[in-house]
Amino acid sequence: MQVSELQQIYLSLGANLGNREANLQQAIELIKERLGEVIAISSFIETAAWGKTDQPDFLNLALLVATNYSPLKALTIIQEIEHQLGRERKEKWGARLIDIDIIFWDNQVISEVQLTVPHPLMHERTFVLIPMAEIAPEMEHPVLKRKMKELLESLEKQEATKS
């Protein structure tokens, strides 16, 4: 299903198996072909695994994409891209060739069985916030009512007090 006007969506991409950079570049190309126009791409950042930490480091980035698909159709396309690139869902937060998450869908709050937007854990993850703060520092989280740069600063302070 397509909607009549373009929606701006933010995606977080990560990979920690195989040729991580090539996997991410291939995912970007497939997103351009199937989902919509890629408007902004963050720098690549390398981060330690989150959640399940006994695995290789991830290479991450964020994208801003303009699409005319509905959120659930976009999710289906993203999951097809992950599958085509070899993603296997064996364990939660496990190692993977590619991971693509929808972080924001315009300023909407979406709560479906298959999809929750904004991504419910994004504000706890530096690997999401660093690239998001790079491409959209003034973007405001529609639930938390805080900008990406503020969420990143807050998380970095929390992490600094833990170490």
From the candidates 101, 106, 125, 146, which is the catalytic residue?
A: 101
Active site residue 106: no
Q: How large is the greatest C-alpha to C-alpha distance in the chain, in angstroms?
A: 49
Active site residue 101: yes
Active site residue 96: yes
Handedness of CA 43, 132, 58, 35 (dihedral sign): negative
- What is the total residue count of the chain? 163
Residue 51 CA: distances (Å) to CA of 1, 9, 47, 114? 34, 25, 12, 21
pTM over the 0.85 mark? yes
Domain boundaries, the chain: 2-120
CATH class for the region spanning 2-120: alpha beta
pLDDT digit string, tens, across residues 63-115 = 999 999 999 999 999 999 998 887 665 555 456 688 999 999 999 999 999 99
pLDDT digit string, tens, across residues 39-67 = 999 999 998 876 666 678 899 999 999 99
Beta strands in the chain (DSSP E): 2-15, 37-41, 45-47, 58-69, 99-105, 110-111, 116-117
From the candidates 34, 89, 99, 125, which is the catalytic residue?
A: 99
Active site residue 146: no
